[in-house]
Amino acid sequence: MQVLKFGGTSVGSVQNLKQVREIIDTPELKIVVLSAMAGTTNKLLQIADAVRIGERTLAADLAIQLQKEYDQVLEELFTELSILSKVRGYVDGIFSSIENSIQVTNFSTITVDEILSKGELLSTWILTSYLEQENVSVCLLPALDFMRIDMHKEPDTFYIQQNIYRSIENLPPAHIYITQGFICRDYEGKVSNLQRGGSDYTATIIGAVIKATSVQIWTDIDGFHNNDPRFVEETHSIAHLSYDEAAELAYFGAKILHPLTVEPLRQYKIPLHLKNTLDVKARGTMITHKAKGKGIKAIAAKDGITALKIKSARMLQAHGFLSNVFKIFDSYETAIDMITTSEIAVSLTIDNTQNLEKIANELTKFALLSIDRAQSIICLVGNQISADKSTHHLFNILKDVDIRMISYGGSKNNISLLVATKDKNRALSLLQEYVFPHEIVI
């Protein structure tokens, strides 16, 4: 069985929904995971934020506006009046429940999660109904019947495996099962989610528990590119990446993939194929357990980074200094991205500044501290980078851009550079020129 996931843009218009039908209407058994239609989650968040600050009239107006957009989609997509009537009834029910959430007195995280879940419920019901209209063998597989996270907000894979099979067995036979990405239940049974981008994660979790032959993620770009096409001209897609290479790129800013996506597939060596809904013939990127070739394959950048330089006159031969530093970050559950050390100082970066003030107060008890905000990490990813002869070309960047930190040698797949965010775009373009000069695409 295959697992195919379609992102918000892929299901974001009537034309794209019809394109999805063309892609999935094949003889192979498959589970299809859907995101909410493009823009829906953001609008649902706006509704939730308006309720949170007491602007209930604004929230209601936003909900009415969103419902009108869905009414337009239904008018264009459905030609069979009986199915159109059924879908309208469902959509009206969804928006009635949103209205009920807007009016609740005790607005909470649970209410927010309930509101956010409506986007995926809408997209899956609409596509399933459209496929029924087109006489496709299809059945709706509700994710809330089997997707669950544990008390640590991690996927409860045993529960998921047991209940997805039970759910499928209780449904009529079909070639295609449509389910929701992103949404799930928590360990108490309340509606929750896998956070933004979590539909990718849903797809690979399902792929792993059912031992899928492959997982495909369909979006609006033809796979990983060798640089960020939003900022750099003449990039191209990469035909093949390993799990490690893909995970590094996703974590350090490549928007096409959720950072956790590849992890469930590793154990079973299930291939992951990134494809473009808008250009079905594009080769995309295949991600497997095997690395091919050596050297730098791609560049990504991550904004919103804060750098801390922690200096102590007693660091030289001072036992426990680094241990004390790391304990502070651990106690405030703040992950460190990059780190470099010298005899008397340690520099590191974080992307979560929620507890920065508290961390700084702790550090200044035994060290001198300086903080640089508005930084970006540029990550160069490939296989066996440190052993490749061409890697030295990237260091040409040092003559053109002020580099705050370099992390080199900690991973065979990653070299990271820290630059001021104002210099990021120029650095990306220069690295493209240094690392991929006149590269031939095969």
pLDDT of 284 over the 60 cut:
yes
Q: What is the pLDDT of residues 256-265, one digit of tens each?
A: 888 889 999 9
Q: Based on the fold, state whether residues 163 and 17 are members of the same structural domain.
A: yes
Mean pLDDT of 321-338: 93
CATH no. for residue 131? 3.40.1160.10
CATH number at residue 398: 3.30.2130.10
Cβ burial, residue 49 (10 Å; 0-12/13-18/19+): middle
User: Quick one: average pLDDT of 170-197?
Assistant: 94
Confidence of residue 437 (pLDDT cuts 50, 70, 90): confident
H helices present in 107-170, as ranges? 109-133, 157-169
Q: Are 43 and 13 in contact (CB under 8 A)?
A: no
Report if residue 235 sits inside a domain: no
pLDDT tens for 355-381 read: 999 999 999 998 999 999 999 999 999
Boundary residue ending a domain (200, 220, 240): 220
Helices 81-102/40-52 angle, 10° precision:
30
Indicate whether 271 belongs to any domain. Answer: no
CB 381 within 8 A of CB 298: yes
Regarding predicted confidence, which is higher, 31 or 320? Answer: 31
pLDDT the model gives residue 44: 97
Residue 238 lies in a domain: no
Q: What is the pLDDT at residue 197? A: 73
pLDDT score at 388: 77
Prediction pTM value? 0.90
Examine the fold and report which residue of 195, 220, 245 is the final residue of a domain before the chain moves on.
220
Beta strands in 263-294 (DSSP E): 272-276, 285-288
* Mean confidence (pLDDT) of the chain: 92
- Determine, yes or no, domain membership for 129: yes
Answer whether residue 138 is part of any domain. Answer: yes
50 and 141 belong to one structural domain: yes
Domain count, the chain: 2
pLDDT higher than 70, residue 304: yes
Does residue 204 fall inside a structural domain? yes
Residue bearing tokens 């045993």? 158
Of 133-137, 215-219, 230-234, 325-329, which range is least confident? 230-234
Give the percent of the chain with pLDDT over 70: 97
Question: pLDDT by residue (tens digit) across 60-113?
Answer: 999 999 999 999 999 999 999 999 999 999 999 999 999 999 998 888 888 899
Q: What confidence score (pLDDT) does residue 246 get?
A: 93
Range of the domain at 211: 2-220
Q: Which of 204, 220, 236 is the last residue of a domain?
A: 220
Q: Which residue shows structure tokens 């500044």? A: 353
